[in-house]
Amino acid sequence: MKFKVFFTLAFGVLLFAQQGVAQTQKKQQTQLVKYKKNVEAPLTAKEMGMLQEVYQDKLQTYVLSNPQRVKDFKHLLRNRVSIKKRPNLVSNKDKYKLISAVGLFNNYNSNLVLDKSYDASTFNVLKYNLQFFGIGSSMYRIDNTEYFITIKSQTIRK
């Protein structure tokens, strides 16, 4: 009986201690996203194709039926993602994560495959499990190329 009481009290103290730590952690201040005027234009055929490849039959349900989500994707593709050839960064290979290391975002399309090379007309950045909505900017290297994907933060720090 004493054994049960001891463990119950120990468990309660542990939970109480964890609650105190969780309450004292600093929260990051969120900022409103500032959209450029170009997000007001409709999705282009290329953007729609990129979304269709990734979301398949869930595109309408998870993206197109939500105007804010559509706006976020347009902002991402038009203003925040850039792909540039940067041969001077290739020698620093340990600093930048390869897109193959982050894997594919294949939750809705299990047939997605990693690109073996980079072709600007067919490359779909959305099919990779990149940190599009994380805090801060990030950079990834496209495997076996001198091309790097830069994802700018969606919020601007003051």
Lowest-pLDDT range, 30-39, 126-135, 141-150?
A: 30-39
pTM for this entry? 0.76
Is 82 inside a domain boundary? yes
Is 83 inside a domain boundary? yes
Domain count for the chain, please give it: 1
Q: What is the dihedral of CA 146, 147, 148, 149, to 10 degrees?
A: -170
In single-letter form, the type of residue at position 140 comes to: Y
Is 135 inside a domain boundary? yes
pLDDT at 9: 55
Is 104 inside a domain boundary? yes
Judged on CB neighbours under 10 Å (0-12, 13-18, 19+), 13 is exposed
| Alpha carbons 156 and 141: distance in angstroms, whole number | 24
Instruction: Identify the residue with better confidence: 29 or 108.
Output: 108
| Alpha carbons 26 and 65: distance in angstroms, whole number | 35
pLDDT band at 116 (very low <50, low <70, confident <90, very high): confident
Is 113 inside a domain boundary? yes
Is 99 inside a domain boundary? yes
- In terms of residue numbers, what domain contains 78? 37-151
Task: Tell me the pLDDT tens digit for each residue of 39-73.
Answer: 999 999 999 999 999 999 999 999 999 999 999 99
Is 86 inside a domain boundary? yes
